[in-house]
Amino acid sequence: MAKQDKSSQYGVTPRSVDFNDWYNEVVMKADLADDSPVRGAMVVKPYGWALWENVQKILDAEFKATNHEALAFPMFIPMSFLQKEAQHVEGFAPELAVVTHAGGQELEEPLVVRPTSETIIGHMWSKWVRSYRDLPLLQYQWGSVVRWELRPRKFLRTTEFYWHEGHTAHASHEEALEETLRILEIYRNFAKDYAAMPVIAGLKTPSERFAGADATYSIEAMMGDGKALQAGTSHYLGQNFSKAFEVAFQAKDQTQQFAHTTSWAISTRIIGGIIMTHGDDKGLVLPPMLAPYQVVIVPIFRTETQEQMIEAARALAAELKAKGIRVKIDERDGVSNGFKYNDWEMRGVPYRLELGPRDLESGNVVLVSRLGGEKEIIARDTAIAMMPEKLVAFQAELLARAVAFRDSRIKTADTWEEFKELIEAGYFVRAFHCGDTDSEKKIKEETKATTRCIPLDTEIYGELEQGVCIHTGKPAAYGKRIIFAKAY
């Protein structure tokens, strides 16, 4: 199909025609973000930022409820800090943005624009930690980081992106690992309960670990095109960074010990995941728990009735807001009602209420769900009373729909040929693997698939069983099948 013919009746390329074009067009037309003059960076517009703010509010409350404290570290990190942890600097070297001049002069030491903060935090902790009584340290910050992306895409991979990064220090391996898994569970529940994104939580293989970690855990989501998205990570760093930065403490037995540390993050990438999990050919479909507006009211008026209808819409909005519902009134003049309907469907608002002069007289409103699209005439007071319940049902339907799609596209492969066919067809594939890093590399080169995780949920995704590697024929590692997929 020619490029100029790809746009659907809704003004975007259908997902089935070109998923990538659909995604890029929806981000722009739903007014989430715009291009920046800096290559690979994006300007997050108010609607997109409101969505991110809702993510922040929920996760921030979760962190505080588990006794984590917020603080802030500087954006610039001395280059020598990154060089103290060999795996860390090797892993991040291709992505670093480095400042060599400032104030009109060359700096004595180059400064790295923060790609992540383990190193500078380790430096500060070495001053703050002296005794086991100083532990645990449970800290996190909200901010942005810079990683020089070769193939940027808004929200998914941008040169600068927004996130929180959590960092904790503990007296023992057991405490640190428990913390790593506690955060992973917070992420899994957030994805399911708020973003309506079912995820597979699991352990990364050694080749997919965070640079400098002893173990990396992730939540892996399936997008609408069958590809995987790593939606959040939680790392057990062992003593790697504490040894590099001398984060040592006197233990209860009077011996000197190095702290066991963790780090973890969810970023604005989660917004890309929400778009690709729930969106359709009309645009966004937002989960009510995170949507900037859960209900949009469109007053229908002519010039002579404009003031009356807007006043009625404001009264309706006030009653909905009193129930804790986020509401927007579309008061735009000089724009057709049809344009407004399409615009709010593109933006993914869960419910639309239309209110015209006849509705006002009869005490009714017209209710339209973003999932169904059918118009329903309903009593005004009934609509107000039942809206909280409808939003809960909408959220549940989104999750059920996403679960059904994901589970229908997870397959098991027992031969190399079957594996390749399933990967090419866009499935998540459960298969045995020997754990050999070179084998993983060759699988990626031939199929573009990577190991996503070794699932923790053995009941559904990874029964404890023995087998032989799908690729080498050697005895399988990990005691279960692992998940392979093409990924963003």
CATH number of 260's domain: 3.30.930.10
Task: Give yes or no: residues 71 and 134 share one domain.
Answer: yes
Peptide bond into 136 cis (omega under 30): yes
Tell me whether residue 367 is in a domain. yes
Task: Give yes or no: residues 434 and 337 share one domain.
Answer: no
Structure confidence by residue, pLDDT tens digits, 134-169: 999 999 999 999 999 888 999 999 999 999 999 999
**Which bin fits 322, alpha (ψ -120 to 50), beta or left (φ > 0)?**
alpha
- Alpha-carbon span 72 to 114, nearest angstrom: 12
**Which bin fits 188, alpha (ψ -120 to 50), beta or left (φ > 0)?**
alpha
The count of C-alpha atoms lying within 13 angstroms of the C-alpha of 288, restricted to the half-sphere facing its C-beta, is 26
Q: In angstroms, what CA-CA distances link 83 with 86, 94, 184, 244, 336? A: 6, 14, 28, 10, 59
Task: Give yes or no: residues 205 and 299 share one domain.
Answer: no
pLDDT at 69: 98
pLDDT in 10s for each residue of the chain, 488 residues: 334 455 556 689 999 999 999 999 999 999 999 999 998 999 999 999 999 999 999 999 999 999 999 999 999 999 999 888 767 667 778 889 999 999 999 999 999 999 999 999 999 999 999 999 999 999 999 999 999 988 899 999 999 999 999 999 999 999 999 999 999 999 999 999 999 999 999 999 999 999 889 999 999 999 999 999 999 999 999 999 999 999 999 999 999 999 999 999 999 999 999 999 999 999 999 999 999 999 999 999 988 999 999 999 999 999 999 999 999 999 999 899 999 999 999 999 999 999 999 999 999 999 999 998 889 999 999 999 999 999 999 999 999 999 999 999 999 999 999 999 999 999 999 999 999 999 999 999 999 999 999 999 865 566 678 899 999 999 999 989 999 999 99
Which residues, at least 6 apart from 98, have a Cβ–Cβ distance to it below 8 Å?
79, 110, 111, 112, 113
Tell me whether residue 386 is in a domain. yes
Tell me whether residue 107 is in a domain. yes
Q: In the listed set 334, 358, 393, which residue is the last one of a domain according to the structure? A: 393
Q: What six digits make up the tokens of 442? A: 């060759």
Task: Give yes or no: residues 16 and 155 share one domain.
Answer: yes
Tell me whether residue 311 is in a domain. yes
Q: Are the beta carbons of 346 and 29 closer than 8 angstroms?
A: yes
Which amino acid is it at 103?
A: G
Q: What six digits make up the tokens of 172? A: 């023992």
Q: Are the beta carbons of 249 and 256 closer than 8 angstroms?
A: yes
Q: What six digits make up the tokens of 199? A: 């995820």
pLDDT at 443: 98
Tell me whether residue 289 is in a domain. no
Q: In the listed set 278, 303, 325, which residue is the last one of a domain according to the structure? A: 278
What's the predicted TM-score (pTM) here?
Answer: 0.94
- Alpha-carbon span 291 to 347, nearest angstrom: 9
Task: Give yes or no: residues 269 and 319 share one domain.
Answer: no
pLDDT at 3: 44
Task: Give yes or no: residues 74 and 217 share one domain.
Answer: yes
pLDDT at 466: 85
Tell me whether residue 191 is in a domain. yes
For residue 290, the tally of other CB atoms under 10 A from its CB is 23
Which residues, at least 6 apart from 136, have a Cβ–Cβ distance to it below 8 Å?
168, 169, 170, 171, 175, 179
Task: Give yes or no: residues 143 and 254 share one domain.
Answer: yes
Task: Give yes or no: residues 466 and 379 share one domain.
Answer: no
- Alpha-carbon span 116 to 73, nearest angstrom: 10
Partner residues linked to 454 by β-bridges: 203
Counted domains in the chain:
3
Tell me whether residue 403 is in a domain. no
- Alpha-carbon span 51 to 46, nearest angstrom: 9
pLDDT at 93: 80
Task: Give yes or no: residues 33 and 127 share one domain.
Answer: yes
How does the average pLDDT of the chain come out, rounded? 94
CATH number of the domain to which 372 belongs: 3.40.50.800
pLDDT at 94: 84
Which residues, at least 6 apart from 38, have a Cβ–Cβ distance to it below 8 Å?
159, 160
Q: In the listed set 393, 419, 436, which residue is the last one of a domain according to the structure? A: 393
Task: Give yes or no: residues 251 and 340 share one domain.
Answer: no
pLDDT at 4: 42
Task: Please give the residue range of the domain that contains residue 468.
Answer: 411-485
Task: Give yes or no: residues 68 and 15 share one domain.
Answer: yes
Q: Are the beta carbons of 383 and 359 closer than 8 angstroms?
A: no
Tell me whether residue 92 is in a domain. yes
CATH number of the domain to which 456 belongs: 3.30.110.30
Q: Are the beta carbons of 165 and 414 closer than 8 angstroms?
A: no
The count of C-alpha atoms lying within 13 angstroms of the C-alpha of 297, restricted to the half-sphere facing its C-beta, is 29
Task: Give yes or no: residues 66 and 191 share one domain.
Answer: yes
